[in-house]
Structure 1
Amino acid sequence: MKTKKILLAAVLFVSVLSACKKDDDTVEVKEGIERAELTFTEVDGHAHGDHFHDLADKTGVTPIVVKFNNKGAAISGGHMHIEADAVYKIQLKAWDYTGKEVQNDFIANKATADNYKAFFVGGNFILNANTTDESGAIFQPRETTYGDGTAVSGTGGIGTTGILSYFTVGHGNEGATKEVSFILRKLNAGVKANITRNDWNRNDYTTAFGGQDVLKLNLEIHAEEGHAH
């Protein structure tokens, strides 16, 4: 009987140790974005007011890829030289801490996309909508479909988010290096419907459009006429 009690105690002790080891081995996965990229690819098209006309991909163009860490700091390509009058397609990619690519999760369907909007803040840009000679900057989110394949809705670009967008500096902004931030913001309910195409560069976006930033990617842009690399 004594031997059986000793064996039972030993078995219980080993079981407790095994349970503790399993608990200790559990890895808690961090939430949020571990890394991100913005890819700038020159395209055909021209500026008109607060948006673009006749956008089309070019062949033989080398994209500019800017890579960011989990704090939004550029770790590669963060000081860009681009052509002032050129139009660039901007594509966002982002990965969570499991290595999953997640940018399309923000536009999975209309109900989800209604909670998110991209801004391109900083730079003290002259906005094209405020010029008479089409010499200013435009940033235009321009997805045409949600992740589920349905068409993006809303007039004046209200339904778009900015996972795919188009940008030009405009020759009115060429010269000095500009510090800018690409921001993807999760908005409070109903806020997105109040954001117009001309709100993309507002320094007061945090108070004007309630919510919280999901991504804030910081980079520098130096635009010159006929000079890009």
Structure 2
Amino acid sequence: MKKLSLFAIIFTILLSTSCSKDDPTPEIDQEEVNAAELVFTEVEREAHGDHYHYNEIENPDVEHVKFSKEGLPEVGTHLHLEVGKTYKLELIAKDFAGRETQQTFVQRADIHQAFILGAPEGTFEYAYADRDADNNKIQVGVTGYLTVAKEADTFVFRYIMRHLNPGVKANITAADWNNKDFAKFTGANDIDLQVEVHVVSDHGHDH
């Protein structure tokens, strides 16, 4: 009887040790966003046949818009973008410790996609500029080039980073970057940022 009890104790210990080794350790959610920022940096768009090259310029116009955890900018914030200009649009996301986490969306490109909404049809043109760890072009929208094609009345610019359900990304094309029906791509929004935008001509703008 004593031998049987001893065997049971040893078996329980071994089983417990085995489970502790095999069970995965829960990961900290690297997509938990506590604050975000959109950066618009003016660049040069140069035509090359059927595509464009985007080049840095000296003394570019740079606009920073910072958002709270709720996706809202400071009261009174509005953004001016100029017709005919191209801007490098970058998302910066930070966790509760202030660490940048936007690269997580690129690393998990198969389940993430940005959508840029709110502008009247034809106001913007967009090209993805994301690169994976092997420097291959990928389609996420953490980094991209936004060209202002024409003037528009004031509108609310909306940037969404959507966390997609498995397999959904295969149904999204580059042309869906501003798809108003983005919710059909099932999932949830990791980020939803909104800011008032004025699109102005090159002769100046009215505050």
Which TM-score tier does this pair reach, normalised by the shorter chain? 0.7 to 0.9
One-letter amino acid of the counterpart of residue 141, structure 2: G
Taking only the aligned residue pairs, the percentage that are identical comes to 34
Are the counterparts in 2 of residues 41 and 63 from structure 1 also a CA contact under 8 Å? yes
One-letter amino acid of the counterpart of residue 206, structure 1: A
Match for residue 225 of structure 1 among 194, 201, 207:
201
* Shift in Å, 1:210: 0.9
1:37 alignment counterpart: 37
- 1:173-192: CA deviations, max 9, x gaps? x1410212111111111211
TM-score by length of 1: 0.69
1:67 alignment counterpart: 66
2:97 alignment counterpart: 98
Residue 75 of structure 1 aligns to a residue whose secondary structure is coil
* Shift in Å, 1:77: 7.7
1:118 alignment counterpart: 114
Residue 44 of structure 2 aligns to a residue whose secondary structure is strand
Whole-Å Cα distance in 2 between the matches of residues 179 and 67 of structure 1? Answer: 15
Whole-Å Cα distance in 2 between the matches of residues 70 and 200 of structure 1? Answer: 23
1:26 alignment counterpart: none
2:134 alignment counterpart: 150
* Shift in Å, 1:86: 0.5
Whole-Å Cα distance in 1 between the matches of residues 85 and 158 of structure 2? Answer: 19
Equivalent residues in 2 for 1:1-229, closer than 5 Å: 32-45=32-45, 53-75=52-74, 78-108=77-107, 112-126=108-122, 136-143=123-130, 145-146=131-132, 149-152=133-136, 159-171=138-150, 174-207=151-184, 209-226=185-202, 227=204
Residue 177 of structure 1 aligns to a residue whose secondary structure is strand
Bigger shift: residues 63-72 or 198-207: 198-207
| Structure 1: 4+ residue segments shifted above 3 A | none
Are the counterparts in 2 of residues 68 and 76 from structure 1 also a CA contact under 8 Å? no
2:3 alignment counterpart: none
**Distance change >3 Å, CA 198–CA 64, structure 1 → 2:** same
* Shift in Å, 1:78: 3.5
* Shift in Å, 1:76: 7.1
Residue 37 of structure 1 aligns to a residue whose secondary structure is strand
Q: Which has the higher strand share?
A: 2
**Please, which runs of 5 or more residues in structure 2 have no aligned partner?**
1-28
TM-score by length of 2: 0.76
2:18 alignment counterpart: none
**Please, which runs of 5 or more residues in structure 1 have no aligned partner?**
1-28, 127-135, 154-158
